[in-house]
C-alpha cells in the first residue's frame, strides 16, 4: 500500500495496522481521530506531523522507518506505548512531556544524550540500546571528545575499543593511525536509580594529518563553517586551499554563540566572492576585504570595526551594513556612489556631511550613535560635538541628566557625575536619519592645586638669584687676593736689597730714596687695584641684581654685595699700611747699620 486516503472514510475505526508497506505520506490521517492503536512501522515515513493531531492515540508503533524529527509527537498526551525503534532519531527531548507513557522503545537510533528522558526512566523501562553514532572525519593524533553522555552530562567512561591504535584520556579519544575506527559504549546505572538501558557503537573515519602549509584558513570556526556550508565536506576539519576558496561566491556567518572568529587569515583569497556576511563574530580588522573586488553585498554588523578605509576599493558595492560597530569617520563612504542601501546605526559618528550626496538618493540610517567624551570640569563651557549638514553644532538637544544648560551650541553642567543628553538632526532636505546619545563625566575644578603650583615658581627664581649673587663676591675675593700677592713680592725684593753691603751714606740715601719710590709705587698700584676691583664688583652686582624677583629682595642682595665689597676694600687698605710700615722699618735698620 502506498496511498492511505481511501481509509479516511472509516472515521469510527479505533485500531489501524499498516506496517510493512510502502507508505511515505501520512497527510490526512488525522481525520481518523478515533484511532487509539496505530501500527505503521517498516514503511518509508519521514514526517509525523499529521499523527500529532490524533489526540486519542494510546499506542503508536513506527519502527524501521526514516524518521529524524519526533517533536510533533509531544502533543500526544494520552500516549502510553511508543515504539520508534530503527530510525534516525538523535533528539529525544520531545518525549519528556509525555508523562502517561509506560513503555518506550528507542533502540537502534542515533541517540547520544539520554538526559531528557531521565525522569521517565525513574519509573518505567526505556530501551535505548544498539545506538549507532557516526562522527565526521578526524585526523590522526587529534583529540576527539567522546560524544555520548551519562545522566550528569559527562562523557561515558565505559568504553570498549573495537579498533587498534587508540588512547583514552579524561573523556577524550585519540587515534594514532588512519582508517575506520569503532568503539562501543555503555551507560552504567543502578536499576533502583534509573531503568534506562543505553548502549551502542561510535564509528568514525580517521585520516592522515594534512600539512599545515596546505591550509590557508587558520581559524577553526571559520574552517569548519566553510568546509560544511560552502564546500559540503563531511570532514569539517579538512584543509582549505586557495583553489577551494576561489569556488566560493557567498560566505555567510551569522551572530550565534560560539561563532567568534579570532583569525581571518585566508579570506583575502576569496577573490570571486560576491556576498559577504560576518555578523557578530568579533571582527576588528577588515583589511582583507580590499582584495575582494567582486563584492556587491557586505554585512559586517555587530562587530568591533573602527577603520573602514579598506571598503574604498570595492567599486561594485551596492548594499552595505556597518551597524553596531565603533566607526567614527565615514568620509570614505561618501565616494561610494554605486550604493543602494547603507546602514550605519549604532556607531560613534559625529559628522554626517560626507554622506550628503548619498542621502539625496536613498534613506541612510545613522541612528543610535553613542558618543563618549573625555572628562570635563564643572561649569566649563563644552561645545556640542555633533554637527548638522552645514557643520554647525546640532541645536536639537534633549537633556537627560539634570544640572545642564544649553545655549548657542554650548552646554554647561553645574553638578558632578555622568551626564547624558540626546541629539537629533532635523533635516527635511535630505534622507539622513542622524540621532544618538552623548555621555560625559563632569568632575570638580582643581583651582587650589593650580595656585600652589604657581606660587612655587617665584620661590625657585629667588633661590636661583641668591646663588647668582654669591658667585661675583667669591670671584672678587679671589682676584683681590691674587693682586695683593704681587706687592708683597716687591717688598721681599726690597728686603733682599737692604741686606746687601753698602759703601757710603750717599749711596745708601740714594738707595733708600729709590726704595721709597718703589714702595710708593707699590702703594699706588695696590690702591689702583683696589679701586678697579671695587668698580668691577659694583658693576657685576648691578648686572646680577637686574632680574631680581621684587624690590625688597633686590635691596637685600645689593646691601649684601656692598657689604662684601667694603670689607674687601678695608682689608686691602690695611695691607697697604702694613707694607708702608715695613718699608720704613727696613730703611731705618739700614741707616742704623751705616
Give residue-wise pLDDT tens across range 313-368: 999 999 999 999 999 999 999 999 999 999 999 999 999 999 999 988 999 999 99
Strand order in the sheet with 166-169: 144-145, 172-175, 166-169
Question: What is the distance, to the nearest Å, from the Cα of residue 184 to the centroid of all Cα atoms in its chain?
Answer: 46
CA distance 421 to 400: 5
* Cβ pair 209, 140 in contact under 8 A: yes
**Dihedral sign of CA atoms 122, 124, 127, 128 in order:** negative
CB-neighbour burial class of residue 155 (10 A; exposed 0-12, middle 13-18, buried 19+): middle
- List Cβ neighbours of 329 (8 Å cut-off, separation of 6 or more): 308, 349
- Domain 369-465 grouped into CATH 3.40.190.90: no
Residue-wise burial string across 486-505, b where 16 or more C-beta atoms lie within 10 A, e elsewhere: ebeeebeebeeebeeebeee
Torsion, Cα 494 495 500 506, to 10 degrees, reads 60
* Cβ pair 343, 323 in contact under 8 A: yes
Closest by CA to 393, choosing from 360, 357, 355, 421, is: 421
Beta pairing, strands 138-139 & 166-169: unpaired
**If you ran DSSP here, which 8-state letter would residue 57 be given?**
-
- List Cβ neighbours of 492 (8 Å cut-off, separation of 6 or more): none
Cell 577524550: give the residue. Answer: 172
CA distance 323 to 369: 10
What pLDDT, on a 0 to 100 scale, did the predictor assign at position 11?
86
Torsion, Cα 53 54 60 65, to 10 degrees, reads -50
Cell 562587530: give the residue. Answer: 303
Read off the C-alpha cell for 164.
587498534
What pLDDT, on a 0 to 100 scale, did the predictor assign at position 529?
40
CA angle 85, 91, 97 (to 5 degrees): 90
Beta pairing, strands 250-253 & 275-278: parallel
82, 221, 289, 303 from 298: Cα distances, Å = 49, 20, 10, 13
What pLDDT, on a 0 to 100 scale, did the predictor assign at position 488?
38
CA distance 105 to 96: 14
Q: Where in the chain is the domain with CATH 2.60.40.1220?
A: 129-209, 369-465
CA distance 74 to 215: 45
CATH number of 129-209: 2.60.40.1220
CATH top-level class for 476-545+557-593?
Answer: mainly alpha
Which residues face 149 on adjacent strands? 113, 155
What pLDDT, on a 0 to 100 scale, did the predictor assign at position 212?
52
pTM: 0.47
Strand, helix or coil at 530? Answer: helix
Determine how many CB atoms are found less than 10 A away from the CB of residue 195: 15
Low-confidence stretches of the chain (pLDDT < 70) are 210-213, 256-259, 447-574, 576-578, 580-594
Q: Helix 447-499 and helix 505-545: axis angle, to 10°?
A: 170
* Cβ pair 130, 94 in contact under 8 A: no
**If you ran DSSP here, which 8-state letter would residue 542 be given?**
H
For 418-463, what is each residue's pLDDT tens digit?
999 999 998 777 789 999 999 999 999 876 544 444 444 444 443 4
CA distance 285 to 273: 18
Q: Where in the chain is the domain with CATH 3.80.10.10?
A: 1-109, 219-343
CA distance 469 to 546: 11
Strand, helix or coil at 581? Answer: helix
Specify the CATH superfamily of domain 1-109. Answer: Ribonuclease Inhibitor (3.80.10.10)
What is the maximal distance between C-alpha atoms in the chain?
179
**If you ran DSSP here, which 8-state letter would residue 301 be given?**
-
CATH top-level class for 219-343?
Answer: alpha beta
Which residues face 412 on adjacent strands? 405
What pLDDT, on a 0 to 100 scale, did the predictor assign at position 584?
63
Amino acid at each position: 500500500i502506498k496511498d492511505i486516503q481511501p481509509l479516511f472514510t472509516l472515521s469510527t475505526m479505533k485500531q489501524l495496522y499498516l506496517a510493512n508497506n510502502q507508505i511515505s505520506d501520512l497527510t490526512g490521517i488525522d481525520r481518523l481521530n478515533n484511532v487509539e492503536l496505530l501500527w505503521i512501522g517498516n514503511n518509508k515515513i519521514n514526517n509525523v506531523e499529521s499523527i500529532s493531531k490524533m489526540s486519542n492515540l494510546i499506542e503508536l508503533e513506527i519502527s524501521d522507518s526514516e524518521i529524524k524529527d519526533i517533536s510533533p509527537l509531544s502533543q500526544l498526551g494520552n500516549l502510553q506505548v511508543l515504539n520508534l525503534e530503527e530510525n534516525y532519531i538523535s533528539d529525544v527531548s520531545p518525549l519528556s512531556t509525555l508523562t502517561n507513557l509506560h513503555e518506550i522503545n528507542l533502540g537502534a537510533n542515533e541517540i547520544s544524550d539520554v538526559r531528557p528522558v531521565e525522569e521517565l526512566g525513574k519509573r518505567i523501562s526505556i530501551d535505548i540500546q544498539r545506538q549507532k553514532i557516526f562522527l565526521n572525519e578526524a585526523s590522526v593524533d587529534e583529540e576527539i571528545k567522546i560524544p555520548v553522555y551519562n545522566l550528569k552530562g559527562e562523557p561515558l567512561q565505559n568504553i570498549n575499543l573495537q579498533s587498534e591504535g587508540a588512547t583514552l584520556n579524561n573523556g577524550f579519544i585519540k587515534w594514532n593511525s588512519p582508517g575506520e575506527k569503532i568503539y562501543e559504549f555503555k551507560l552504567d546505572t543502578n536499576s533502583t536509580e534509573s531503568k534506562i538501558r543505553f548502549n551502542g557503537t561510535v564509528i568514525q573515519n580517521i585520516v592522515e594529518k594534512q600539512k599545515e602549509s596546505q591550509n590557508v584558513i587558520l581559524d577553526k570556526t571559520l574552517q569548519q563553517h566553510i568546509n560544511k556550508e560552502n564546500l559540503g565536506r563531511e570532514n569539517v576539519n579538512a584543509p582549505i586551499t586557495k583553489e577551494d576558496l576561489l569556488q566560493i561566491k557567498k560566505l555567510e556567518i551569522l551572530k550565534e554563540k560560539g561563532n567568534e572568529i579570532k583569525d581571518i587569515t585566508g579570506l583575502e583569497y576569496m577573490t570571486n566572492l560576491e556576498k559577504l556576511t560576518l555578523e557578530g563574530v568579533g571582527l576588528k580588522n577588515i583589511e582583507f576585504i580590499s582584495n575582494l573586488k567582486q563584492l556587491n553585498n557586505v554585512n559586517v554588523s555587530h562587530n568591533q570595526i573602527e577603520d573602514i578605509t579598506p571598503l574604498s576599493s570595492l567599486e561594485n558595492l551596492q548594499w552595505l551594513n556597518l551597524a553596531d560597530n565603533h566607526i567614527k569617520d565615514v568620509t570614505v563612504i561618501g565616494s561610494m556612489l554605486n550604493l543602494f542601501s547603507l546602514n550605519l546605526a549604532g556607531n560613534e559618528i559625529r559628522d554626517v556631511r560626507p554622506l550628503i550626496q548619498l542621502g539625496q538618493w536613498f534613506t541612510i540610517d545613522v541612528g543610535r550613535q553613542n558618543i563618549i567624551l573625555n572628562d570635563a570640569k564643572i561649569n566649563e563651557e563644552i561645545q556640542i560635538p555633533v554637527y548638522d549638514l552645514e557643520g554647525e553644532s546640532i541645536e536639537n538637544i534633549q537633556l537627560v541628566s539634570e544640572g545642564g544648560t544649553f545655549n548657542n551650541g554650548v552646554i554647561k553642567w553645574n553638578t558632578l557625575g555622568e551626564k547624558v543628553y540626546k541629539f537629533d538632526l532635523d533635516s527635511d532636505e535630505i534622507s539622513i536619519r542622524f540621532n544618538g546619545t552623548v555621555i560625559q563625566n563632569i568632575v570638580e575644578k582643581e583651582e587650589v592645586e593650580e595656585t600652589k603650583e604657581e606660587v612655587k615658581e617665584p620661590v625657585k627664581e629667588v633661590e636661583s638669584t641668591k646663588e647668582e649673587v654669591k658667585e661675583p663676591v667669591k670671584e672678587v675675593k679671589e682676584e683681590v687676593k691674587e693682586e695683593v700677592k704681587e706687592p708683597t713680592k716687591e717688598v721681599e725684593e726690597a728686603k733682599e736689597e737692604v741686606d746687601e753691603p753698602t759703601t757710603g751714606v750717599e749711596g745708601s740715601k740714594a738707595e733708600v730714596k729709590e726704595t721709597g719710590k718703589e714702595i710708593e709705587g707699590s702703594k699706588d698700584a695696590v690702591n689702583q687695584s683696589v679701586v678697579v676691583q671695587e668698580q668691577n664688583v659694583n658693576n657685576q652686582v648691578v648686572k646680577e641684581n637686574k632680574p631680581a624677583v621684587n624690590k625688597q629682595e633686590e635691596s637685600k642682595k645689593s646691601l649684601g654685595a656692598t657689604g662684601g665689597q667694603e670689607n674687601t676694600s678695608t682689608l686691602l687698605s690695611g695691607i697697604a699700611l702694613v707694607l708702608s710700615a715695613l718699608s720704613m722699618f727696613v730703611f731705618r735698620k739700614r741707616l742704623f747699620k751705616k
